[in-house]
Amino acid sequence: MPSARGRSEGMTVNEDVAPFTIAFVAGVTLTRWTSAWADRQPGIPLAFLPVGTAEQTEVLHDGRADVSFVRFPVDGTDLSVIPLYAEVPVVVVPKDHPVSLFETVTLADLAEETITPPTLSPGDAVELVAAGGGVVILPQSIARMHGRKDVVARPVVDAPETRIAIAWVEANTTERVEEFVGIVRGRTAASSRATPTPPAEPKPPRKEAKPRPKQQSQAQARAAANRRRRSGR
């Protein structure tokens, strides 16, 4: 579950301010981003909406959430979608299964295995695996959520990765959305999209150097002095 830093002790929250609502699919950890929001926007509370993949974008279109952490594939119609990271696929098997002896496996290693029905929820699939009803490939974060002592998970090195992204309705790109997306993308509190780089100070015009009078050599100076003395006689 996400962190509750949006209402931590000592924080002043304006109850009249509508919360910023974050939807998220299972397996996404929000703490580092919600903590940063609480530090930068202490007057704006956060609300959290767990969703399944079937409604991960629906909650954006119907206004239930401002942003949504989604798992690909995703219908990006009218949405801004920024991929964030990939999830490692793992196979969950009974603890005494031969695969449990390996550090990693391939899809070929699982060719003879019975895969649990795709219609099952991850929790039900892991329950079936524990009962000896097959194996299941899940994103690592989901497998951890449903971990139990009688099953083990091993990375499947050649299985397709899944990806997590943040999405929002493009037409609803508010300042709040921009601020939160900036936090997720690593923008610091000191940085600002609206602050342009100040123009360089104009340099003063370069002054033309005055030509120096031509200096005479010592021999020329002596010759000139001798000429003056002779003419003065």
Half-sphere exposure of 103 (CA within 13 A, CB side): 0
Greater confidence, 6 or 220? 220
* pLDDT over 60 at 109, yes or no: yes
Which tokens belong to 126?
A: 């892991």
Are 30 and 22 in contact by the 8 Å Cβ rule? The answer is yes
Residue pLDDT, tens place only, 9-42: 334 456 688 999 999 999 999 999 999 999 999 9
Q: What is the DSSP string of 96-117?
A: TSGGGG-S-B-TGGGTTSPBPP
195 burial via Cβ count (<10 Å: 0-12, 13-18, 19+): exposed
- pLDDT, residue 216, reads 53
**pLDDT class for 4, splitting at 50, 70, 90?**
very low
Among candidate residues 95, 133, 93, the one with its CA nearest the CA of residue 110: 93
- Report the distance separating Cα 119 and Cα 221, nearest Å: 108
Residue pLDDT, tens place only, 159-196: 999 999 999 999 999 999 999 999 999 988 776 544 33
Q: What Å distances lie between residue 21 and 76, 154, 180, CA to CA? A: 19, 35, 11
**pLDDT class for 215, splitting at 50, 70, 90?**
low
Residue pLDDT, tens place only, 48-86: 999 999 999 999 999 999 999 999 999 999 999 999 999
Percent of the chain with pLDDT over 90: 73
What are the φ and ψ backbone dihedral angles of 223, each rounded to 5 degrees? -65, -40
Which tokens belong to 55?
A: 């409604």
Buried b / exposed e over 42-64, threshold 16 CB at 10 Å, is bebbbebeebeeebbbebbeeee
Kindly report the CA angle at 25 between 189 and 37, in degrees rounded to 5? 15
Instruction: Give the chain's end-to-end CA distance (angstroms, integer).
Output: 113
* pLDDT over 70 at 3, yes or no: no
